[in-house]
Amino acid sequence: MKPATTEFLRQRFAEYYRKERVQAPPSVGEREFGFILFDPDSPEVRMRRHMGFGTAGEMGEYIRSIVPQHAFYSSAYYVAPGAGTMAEKGWTGADLIFDLDADHLMRGPYRLMLDRVKLETEKLLGMLTGELGFAGRNIQLVFSGGRGYHVHVREIGVRGWGSQERRELIDYVCGIGIDPPWLLSGSAAGHLPGWKERYISTISEYLLWLKGLGREKGVEELMGIPGISRERAPRFFDAIDAYLVGLGKGDSTPLLTNQVFSAIAGKEDGKFRELLRSRAALADEPVTTDTRRLIRLPTTLHGGSGLRVTPIPLGDFAAFDPLVDAVVFSDRKVKVDTGMKISMEMLGNSYQLGMGTSAVPEALAVFLCARGLAEIAGEADHAPR
């Protein structure tokens, strides 16, 4: 990034922090903070951390004074958050954090990545409130400003959980360690209704998919799975309708000890596991298990996009559009230089940029420069549509 581009971004961020009040997290005096600054002379990304503030006002004044490129705070609560070592801080608990990032799910156009990660977040919220009993009033949903969402659970009952308890919870929402015999047996009823239902619906979807291949291709598909013999494959295929009728009546016994189904369910990269994963909420596991995690500070700006790290009321999530609702900069015209063709949505408009110099709204210029897709070139009168 050229120095002029860095300075353009720093000035835009400074303008935002002059005008906007950054929301302090609950119990601000017990949190550690960390910041990455705009530094065109440093080839390394360096974080200024081990910082604590007594009040929200102190935090806000400091942010205005340094104009950070990125701002973070700890999910953990400490006795002395500003201490220089983790041992000296005095850990007293931590919020339960879930991080859903489209980078872990797919690659593609930014809009498609945002849409996909929103679906995963909706699944997670449904599990947390509908299956695990967390109250919506104790959940904060935040658009990360990048390619995903953060979910903060602040119920007192989970604050003291260690990594192992958090691991069990993230395993549940991600569908890790599912035990098919247990889920298909009567003992699972009333214990894991969510995953029992998801597992059985996955079996039905898989059987219908297999049947749709036709007998020849279906049998060939089965024989391609390790552990399924040439003799067993056609017998299993011919029994698909009977299995589906049984599942519809709540009887999964014929599949419980079926060796062919065991092989199907055990193939890590197979179609069945693909369908099963689609029913999980694919959050980033290490973030949830980390009891001392630094997470982006809501209402600050993401230095890799210029978008606002935006808190979202749960009831507003369905209508939330990051490329409208997290945009904070103006539509005044700015010239940028790009080294590639770029197609991008922002504020309800679609922009098609060629290589070279283009005039775009300031909000889009900030995004492209922050992402490393463009360099600042000046101001202009007209933007392409």
pLDDT at 17 over 60: yes
pLDDT recorded at residue 46:
81
Give the residue extent of every domain in the chain: 3-174+284-322, 180-277, 333-379
- Of 139, 156, 188, 195, which Cα lies nearest the Cα of 317? 139
CA–CA separation, 22 and 20 (whole Å): 6
Helices (H) and strands (E) in the chain, counts: 17, 15
Beta bridge partners, 96, equal: 153
Does 103 score more than 50 pLDDT? Answer: yes
DSSP label at residue 317: G
Is the pLDDT at 179 greater than 80? The verdict is no
- Strands 374-379 and 333-338, by their bridges, are antiparallel
Quick: pLDDT tens for 155-172.
Answer: 999 999 999 999 999 999
| Architecture of domain 333-379 in this structure | 3-Layer(aba) Sandwich (3.40)
pLDDT at 92: 97
pLDDT over threshold 80, residue 312: yes
Q: Tell me 308's DSSP state.
A: B
Q: What is the pLDDT of residue 190?
A: 44
Helices (H), 83-192: 86-89, 110-130, 156-159, 163-174, 180-184
| pLDDT score, position 194 | 83
Query: What CATH homologous superfamily does 3-174+284-322 map to?
Result: DNA primase, PRIM domain (3.90.920.10)
- Quote the CA–CA distance of 151 and 282 in Å, as a whole number: 13
> Among all residues, which ones are annotated catalytic?
99, 101, 284
Per-residue confidence band for 22, with pLDDT thresholds at 50, 70 and 90: very high
- pLDDT band at 257, cuts 50/70/90? confident
Q: Which two tokens stand for residue 41?
A: 């002379």
What SS3 class is residue 376?
A: strand
Residue appearing with tokens 């600050």 = 300
Confidence of residue 184 (pLDDT cuts 50, 70, 90): confident
Q: 278-310, pLDDT tens digit by residue?
A: 999 989 999 999 999 999 999 999 999 999 999
pLDDT, averaged across the chain: 91
Q: How far apart, in Å, are the Cα atoms of 361 and each of 2, 147, 347, 349?
A: 20, 21, 10, 11
Predicted confidence band at 252 (pLDDT cuts at 50, 70, 90)?
confident
Task: Answer yes or no: is pLDDT of 329 > 80.
Answer: yes
CB 68 within 8 A of CB 35: yes
Mean pLDDT computed over 93-107: 91
DSSP class of residue 301? B
Look up tokens 């630094």; give the residue: 294
What's the whole-model pTM score? 0.88
